Structure 1
Amino acid sequence: MFRPRVLVFFFIISEWCADNGQDPVFEYLEPQELNNLLRSFYCEVRRKDGEHYSSVSMRCIRAAIQRHLRSAPYHREINVITGPQFVSANNAYVGILKSNKDRTPVPKHKVPVQPEDLKKMFSTGVCSNLTPVSLQHMVYVMITLHFCRRGREGLTTLRKDSFIFRYDDVGTEYATMSHLQSTKNHKGDQTNDPDNKQERRMYATQSDQCPVAALKLYLSKLNPKQDSFFQRPKSMKKWVRSDTTWYEDAPVGKNILGNMMSTISDQAQLSQRYTNHCLRATSISTLIHAGFSRSDVKTLSGHRCDASLDSYFQPSRAQKRKLSDTIHNAIAASSSSTSMTSVQVQGLVPAPSTISRAPPSPNPYINYDMPSAQSLQRAAQPVRHEEVEVQASSHHEPAELAAKLFKKCTFNGSVVINVHQHMHRH
């Protein structure tokens, strides 16, 4: 007798045979023909949405085919998984598994709530003690952050007695869980923790957003007829602030609880739409950026290994800005030390509009049309002061000579040109 899950996977190949013109009764095919059919099936089978089946699903499909062929009334003495007759089919199967691995998307971790958005949640009154809804939002955010709770996990199982209040050895009040809930990393752990090894604490503060005071107010306003911790808030038409009960005798639905942070994001008009799990990422990232060790963070988050925290070691927005500013300051400091300055020819070269082209000189020692390579090399050096000596004939003016000699030249820094006139002896 097939289990329902096995039948589901077996029906996949039956539907594929019918859709692709293959004989759906493939149980009696010869090994070679069955091998060809399975090879085509592994390569072409798709989900109804057109996507490839996952590697786990492909393994289950192949195992279901093998079990089907071995069961009554067929009792085939063949093995489509390890049999030598099905080498090409299994090679195609392995290729599909490898391609599935390449198509597997990289896990996308939730982003923490930005500090500005966290402040805005409270400053806008979306998380406050003003109304039944805002008080429930405030308590939800507080317990999720302080106890590092996962997105939707265990919200519907919380009861009014799930939280208790205690005092530490110095007399400071705090709230903690009365029992350990079953979580993804700690299955079935519903017993008490007598040694307080896994106790998570939410301490009272002297501020308007005191989490302990908010939790006490919320518990005092819950409906006594309902044991659920998250109860449906009264409508504003029925609610009066002086009422002793702010909530109805009905629990909040799982979908509303699962989208609690998205609702808060919309009402507070945050910079983006956060999910419930973003609050858990906020708790872990805040502790990491504050310098707490991995062991301290794991005590709150419940992670079992250090590698699980690697995804949370990401720079915050402020840290990213600081990284960018540091690089920019290094570039700015380097640029200022080598910045271009205007070329200063001290009183020797007049404005370009006043320079007239001199007739060709009979002096063979000076080429007015093209400066010498040595002169260009010395003039182009980035120094503050450079002296260039040029021998010129007595009948040429210094300004005219300089304009001719350094035509189309570019200077970096401050350049001083001294032109000495010497009489040419024939």
Structure 2
Amino acid sequence: MAIGGSRFAQTTEEDRDLKRIKLNSDKTLMANKTVAKVFKEYLSEIGETVEYEQFHDLKLDECLGHFYMDLRKGDGSYYNANSLESIRHGINQHLKCPPFNRKTDIIKDSAFTDSKTCFKAVLAETKRIGKGDVEHYPIITEADLQTLYTSTYLSITTSQGLLNKVQFDVRMFFCHRGNQNMHRMTTFISVFTDENSGRKFVEKVVDEATKNHRLDKEYSSGIMPELRGQ
């Protein structure tokens, strides 16, 4: 808040922390807290203090190495490589965010050489047991799309069918991360344009900050083409 006639604000430590927190999405912050809880549960189980945010680098490196090696799902099975990467990234972000504001980076810094080696060993093991590949959802085939568009559920001749079709199209062409940000999809962030062919397109021209890079802005993200004959 500006004081008197000064052009400069006097930002408090609390203000700074709040602004730094907002660099991450709510979903990311929740995921980081969940991962932090898992690490704390592990430390508690092995009889170690759970306040790892206060550990010096040497001790944190040692504990992380054991954690990576011992980490399992609730049913005792192994995590896949993608999940392991997410867990390590979540811990790293948790340490860097307020109120801890750690300057260290458990992924890049040389102080964490031992735990990084342990992590690489765990990734190699997941590949040997068939857990090394990233799992993707299967694509929607052209045949399945045709079945959907010709069904009564997406029929534009009924009000419910038209609503379903609009909702489906918006999610398929613009919601690259599932339903996240769906509530922000409005007519104010889309524009209709005509090509030389006369075909119409819907283009999302104003986007939210991207999930993994909150400082990036997508000024065009996804194009929905007109499907002739519908």
Structure number with larger C-alpha Rg: 1
User: Which structure is higher in RCO with an 8 Å CA cutoff and minimum separation 6?
Assistant: 2
The structure with more helix, counted as a fraction of residues: 2
Instruction: Please report the TM-score for the alignment, with normalisation by the length of structure 1.
Output: 0.28
